[in-house]
Amino acid sequence: MTVTTGPDGPPHRRVQPRQPGTLVAAVGAACYLAVVPTRICKVLLIDDSEVSLMVAETLLMTDGYDVRSAMNVTEFYQAVSDFVPDIILSDVEMPDMTGPELCKRVKTTPRTAQVPVILYSTKPAEELAALAAECGADGYVCKADRHEGLPAKLAEVWAGLNAS
């Protein structure tokens, strides 16, 4: 444990996190806990838009996700052959197969049947919610929100997976 004093404040005690729920800092009477995941969430992202793909990858990697990406269905299936994701994030409108069609295939393939699928699109939330419900997706995120809801939605799905 290291004890340091800030220029204007009380001493800080720092402990390196070693296991889930380890104390990482105590400042005066306040304590902060960090939940250290037992493993990193693996996300497979498919989008035919290079810009959207890069934005989503950057957001998720910044939040600590292990992200693999594909720009089409062929790349998606190549990625799944050696990388079984914890969550699949699929664009809705793609040229070779729609996100809802991909979701249905994922849910009927034994290797990926239990993997949650989240649709994301520029479509209005009501339409996206209906598409997600119709194809059996586990959630949706609107790109119109500049991807702001993406990390929160994945964290919600990931927490649900770890709770079960």
Instruction: Specify which residues 25 forms β-bridges with.
Output: 14, 32
Q: Are 68 and 85 in contact (CB under 8 A)?
A: yes
pTM value is 0.73
Q: Are 50 and 72 in contact (CB under 8 A)?
A: no
* pLDDT attached to residue 153: 76
156 by DSSP, 3-state: which? helix
User: Which CATH number applies to 42-163?
Assistant: 3.40.50.2300
| pLDDT tops 80 at residue 59 | yes
Token representation of residue 61: 């990697």
Q: Between 22 and 116, where is the model more confident?
A: 116
| 14-36 tens-digit pLDDT | 333 333 343 334 444 444 444 44
| 69-103 tens-digit pLDDT | 999 999 999 999 988 899 999 999 999 999 999 99
Where in the chain are the domains? 2-33, 42-163
Output the average pLDDT for the chain: 78
